[in-house]
Amino acid sequence: MTKIKAGVTGWGSYIPPYRIKASDIASLWGFDPYTPKAIWIEEKAVAALDEDTITIGWRASKYALQRAGVKPEEIGAVFVGTESKPYSVKPSATVIADALGISPKKLASDLEFACRAASEAIRISISLVNTEMAKYTLVVGADTAQASPGDVLEFTASSGGVALVIGGLDDAAAVIEDSYTYVTDTPDFWRRSLAPYPEHGEAFTGEPAYFNHIINAVKGLFEEGGYKPNDFDYAVFHQPNGKFPLQVGAKLGFPKEKILPGLVTPYIGNTYNGSALMGFAKILEEAKPGSRILLAPFGSGAGSDAYAIVVTDHVLEKRDKAPKVVDMINRKIYIDYARYAKMREKILRYRR
């Protein structure tokens, strides 16, 4: 079955403290007040004007290195999965790497696959570590997600990021037992090259995209690895809203008790490349050693990866070495729509 000899050596996350309530967005644009509840979104995190994917990714990476206890020079690759690159041309990974003191002797690039690019980076990292091309890699999933004002996406498109140090088994906080990937050409969500905001197929993002790909990836993992839902203590899925993960979990045979611990979108919104990984990071900060986690990120376009990951004893000594997801969920500075519009540059103005 598994040939993977890699694990998560360290993890870190970052959620900006600014929050806008979904009810404020609904009220401004004239949505039925029930709308946020229908998709279960309470509030979302908003990046400040001086934040972007690079700064969020840097902060999460700094915390990941703290937990990994790895020297920056030992990192052999840096990948940034994002769909909100500060530069269209010029890598984010190089800035994050240099700002952390990671040596020039490394691979580094930004990956794009909607919300799934960071997950692809995990699979690439497994290969690099298994083939000893890198001792450790740094995987960053970070976004300052855009949504056209008034689009239903605006309820959830938020800012945040997660970083994982992927390495060998020795000092892993969690061991990656197995993984499976399912990718097709499915046009559920896209943004053309000079367009400021993405478009999406609304309900089409559901069945043929989100559900189809996650279910096929998880079933593939189950078949190849011989797993059953009962073998897992936690299940974390990509979480574009609060409802989809519970629905896809139910279809796969997971009770909501196994899903809720890793479900963060209702409180911070969908951090896109940070989405499923944020739930995963939270579980690493809570789960007992020996717990098995199903992790299934998804990205539009579309694809999903399913991972079986087992928490080790090392998780205990690493947890308190950096701020936890729950601490950042609870750290809030509320803003109104006007301030949110300013912070996300939705006001037409001359830059000064």
Partner 1 sequence: MMFERSPAKIWRNRDVLYRLKYSYCRDCKRSFYPPRGRCIYCGSSNIEHRYSSGRGVVKEFTVVYQTPVGFTDMSPMVIGLIEMEEGFRLLAQIVDVKPEEISNGMKVEAVLRRMIVDGETGLIYYGIKFAPLIEKS
Using the rule CB under 8 A, give the single segment among 168-176, 187-195, 298-306, 326-334 that binds partner 1. Answer: 326-334
For strand 199-200 and strand 189-190, is the pairing parallel, antiparallel, or unpaired?
Answer: antiparallel
Answer for the pair 238, 119: CB distance below 8 angstroms, yes or no. Answer: no
Residue entry with tokens 């029930």: 34
Contact with partner 1 (CB under 8 A): which of 328, 335, 340, 344?
328
Two structure tokens written together for 270: 């969908």
DSSP string, 207-271: IIIIIHHHHHHHHHHHHHHT--GGG-SEEEE--SSSHHHHHHHHHHT--HHHHGGG--HHHH-B-
Amino acid at position 225, single letter: G
Q: Report the C-alpha gap between 279 and 277 in whole angstroms.
A: 5
Q: Taking CB under 8 A as the rule, does residue 288 contact partner 1?
A: no
Using the rule CB under 8 A, give the single segment among 20-28, 75-83, 248-256, 323-331 that binds partner 1. Answer: 323-331
**CB nearer partner 1, residue 160 or residue 167:** 160
Size of the site for partner 1 (CB under 8 A): 28
Q: In what order do the strands lie in the sheet with 43-46?
A: 43-46, 18-21, 333-334
Among candidate residues 13, 7, 1, 87, the one with its CA nearest the CA of residue 327: 13
Using the rule CB under 8 A, give the single segment among 38-46, 129-137, 240-248, 320-328 that binds partner 1. Answer: 320-328
**CB nearer partner 1, residue 99 or residue 107:** 99
Q: Is 238 a catalytic residue?
A: yes
Q: Per CB under 8 A, which of residues 21..80 are in contact with partner 1?
A: 48-52, 54-55, 58-59
Residue 333-352 contact track with partner 1, rule CB under 8 A, x = bound: x-----------------xx
Residue entry with tokens 């299934």: 296
CB of 161 vs partner 1, minimal distance in Å? 12
Options 154, 177, 213, 238, the catalytic residue: 238
Answer for the pair 107, 46: CB distance below 8 angstroms, yes or no. Answer: no
CB of 322 vs partner 1, minimal distance in Å? 9
Among candidate residues 298, 305, 302, the one with its CA nearest the CA of residue 188: 302
Q: Report the C-alpha gap between 78 and 140 in whole angstroms.
A: 8
Amino acid at position 179, single letter: S
CB of 10 vs partner 1, minimal distance in Å? 17
Q: Is 314 a catalytic residue?
A: no
Q: Is 286 a catalytic residue?
A: no
Q: Report the C-alpha gap between 127 and 139 in whole angstroms.
A: 13
Residue 183-222 contact track with partner 1, rule CB under 8 A, x = bound: ----------------------------------------
**CB nearer partner 1, residue 86 or residue 253:** 86
CB of 138 vs partner 1, minimal distance in Å? 15
Q: Report the C-alpha gap between 50 and 55 in whole angstroms.
A: 8
Contact with partner 1 (CB under 8 A): which of 5, 21, 37, 99?
99
Contact with partner 1 (CB under 8 A): which of 68, 80, 93, 95?
95
CB of 106 vs partner 1, minimal distance in Å? 16
Q: Report the C-alpha gap between 350 and 352 in whole angstroms.
A: 6
Answer for the pair 2, 175: CB distance below 8 angstroms, yes or no. Answer: no
Options 43, 83, 154, 285, the catalytic residue: 83
**CB nearer partner 1, residue 72 or residue 198:** 72
Instruction: Indicate which residues carry an active-site annotation.
Output: 83, 115, 238
Residues near partner 1 (CB under 8 A): 16-17, 48-52, 54-55, 58-59, 86-87, 95, 98-99, 101, 323-324, 326-331, 333, 351-352
